[in-house]
Chains A and B, each alone.
Chain A
Amino acid sequence: MADLLAIGSRRGLRPALPLLLPAYLWLTVAIFLPLSAMVFFSFMTDLPLAGKEWSFTLGNYAAFFSQSLYSTLLFASLRLGLEVTLWCIVIGYPAAYVLAKVLKGRSREAIFLLVILPFWSNGLVRIFSWAMVLREGGILDTALNAVLPFKINIDLMYSYPAVIIGLVHSYVPYMVLTCYLTLQAIDDSLIEAGRSLGASRRQVLWRVIIPLSMPGLIAGSALIFVPVVGSFMEPRILGGRTGTFYGTVIEDQFVAVFNWPLGAALSFILLAVVLIILALAAPVLRRAA
């Protein structure tokens, strides 16, 4: 990699421009412009639609700090992001390990397909199908009561666990994929070398495999944590009344209350908080990787 970069800089950036340009033009048009518009909105008192009066204000940002509701919800969302990320590691990492190190050939392809299947289904369909499973008298409830000799009442619908389940289901493929890639790059002979030196399988896992797959764990965690903190669809549908999070409040501002300036300001505060968290974690993560 370092060699490639060295070659690139020796030849200068100019020959690379035609390769870079399409992507950066697209990014400028598709992300930078709308996002700038949003920054602009976040400092306005009202939307300049239908000839309404508006002026510049810091009030939208001040609202976040004056009402404890927003910071409470932000903390709830950060906790949600943390929990979902942890569950994704717990569930996704072992699966990635088996895919990368145990299965070979055909069976690997088949299992891989199952892992990325959630990507191919519509998000809403995914969430509503969970609603069918989790509600009282739903599939899980009926099935368990058919098997168990005693009566239990499974009603996970509209609860915090339901939100976690839905989010983990949506995001676990990211963890499996990123970890799979780093695990597959670990030479099997490193594992054998560890064991030949007297390390048990568990010691090899903790001292060799996990440290070497840290880049994948970190990449997967970042890919999951950031969108989960701002998520609104799963909390709203599966969480019901308990599903009020920072993301759903932002969504409300845009969709229900039609207070775009406040929604934009809340979004940028979230962005700032996430960036601060990633920046604070960077030195630790770099050492781990």
Chain B
Amino acid sequence: MRNAPIIQDSAMIESPEIMPAKSKLQHEVSTILEHYQHDKTRLMDILIDIQDENGYIPAEAIDYLSHELNISTVDIRQTVSFYHFFSETPRGKYTIYLNDSAVANMNGRKAVSKTFEKEAGISFGSVTEDGLIGLFNTSCIGMNDQEPAALINGAVFTRLTPFRASEIIRDIRAGKQVEEMFVASYGDGNNSSEFIKAVVNNHIMKRGPVLSDQFKPGEGIKEIVKMSPEDVIKEVKISNIRGRGGAGFPTGLKWEFCRNAADQTRYIFCNADEGEPGTFKDRVILTEKPFMLFEGMVIAGYAIGAKEGILYLRYEYKYLKKHLENALQKIRKLKLLGKNILGKKGFNFDIRIQFGAGAYVCGEESALIESAEGKRGEPRDRPPFPVEKGYLEKPTVVNNVETLCSIVKIIKNGGEWYKNLGTKESTGTKVLSISCDCRYPGIYEVEWGFSVNDILDMVGGDDVQAVQVGGPSGSCIAPNEFNRTLCYTDLATGGSLIIIGNHRDLLKGIILNFMDFFIDESCGSCTPCRILTVLLRDKLKKIIEGRGVMQDLEDMEDWGKIMKANRCGLGLTAANPILTTLKNFKNLYLNKIQINKDYDTGFRLDEALREGMKASNRKVSVLENK
């Protein structure tokens, strides 16, 4: 009896007559939810749509999502708060994300940001009072060869100058659409196609098998329909190709592990979360070779027995969305995707695009999977590895964009052919992203085994102080090591080479920026990565300001060792900017420290008092009085 009224109550709440009318926002969210079939693992897509629609994610939307998807608001908020491009407060009708990478700064970002601030009348990290313009910093957006660059409502603006910055703000105030604000002509290749229309250049300076024009859609798939999946894996193993994202795991082996996993539902992911500052080769491949990439995914899917492929694309490359979707449509029409591919019965495979929302750590495969499931992009503990338990707990292979493209060529020409390229341990070619102080920055596809000197000759880099190989997480090498070669046994790299001229202040201009980058991008899960990155950055700052002592250098080396306790690639390498320069450019540090002091905490009373004096409107302190 006691329960009866309660049942009645809940029935009444659910009845449509009593339900309060849906607000406009709820209607909008409902439509988005229907589009994703109320699937809570698609939370990222749902949030991206809400963010794009409203310019932010209103609290009301979070409450409504929580109710409709039956997940707590806290779970939704922790996803929202994890990604740079999500915000719970409005980010402006026009949101300007100006890249704050080291190379952007080396190319005059400061003057550009100052002009944006002056013209908009606000500082970075805020929105104008009328809600028209928002100014925000962002990490490398993959335009290193055309910096400083910014994303404005998703559209890319490259090679910015103070003049352009004031023009842009003026155009915004005049109510122009983003597309109407371009002044330069669209870039080369597909950049000017109707589906992209971006003022972005490919700068392909040297082509190899991956970037070659000799590719016809279907050339790889035609081969595999004649082969068994095991034979495909065998061919890939013969080629000895290793992952091109940077970690260099043998691709054939990864596929085999996944193929041998017990669960029959499997997934193939293409990792297009190219976040390593200084890397932009995947952007060019996605622009010029989408068919080849998708074909690589089909081949991988066939080999491991997956029916679904997911292209995890960083939000910064959202301007390529239409282009990639159009490519998918085209290859579906060619029967290279979909049901019974090329007439082979039971060979079903399709691909969808999953966007990230701005998080470097999502380039780590297990973090990428977490993100694709709608969660915070925090790396998982391993084992189990994704090949055993990955996306939705199913066996999953995550391959880099370039790896998958190379696969197509391996299948077409054979593993033996591929093995003859490069060196014995590092077979094939590598697409390099080369930027900063050289005459011809851009994309170069070379065989493994080039020395750094060869590369500098090739790109026109002279008067070079240092080369940052593999982005901030790689190593910074000095001229006495320029004879080292690019290969997995010497200088392994995901392909980013930042060339740093002699006129640069290496520690202040570059290494400090790299440390700030890691602090921003750390997911915060492992203590050393969350805390030591900050302490190391502060030590570096102290040294740059001339307050360091010998002890600080020793501390940095010692603390760097503790970074091995972190669980993912980000944490393991986050101290590398400091550790590799300490090793290769020790003199830069020694010249800055105080030789006649053994100890200095770096504390300066006058600086620590400034704020308090101002707040209480005082001219002199007690100590000065005495």
* A and B together in one complex: no
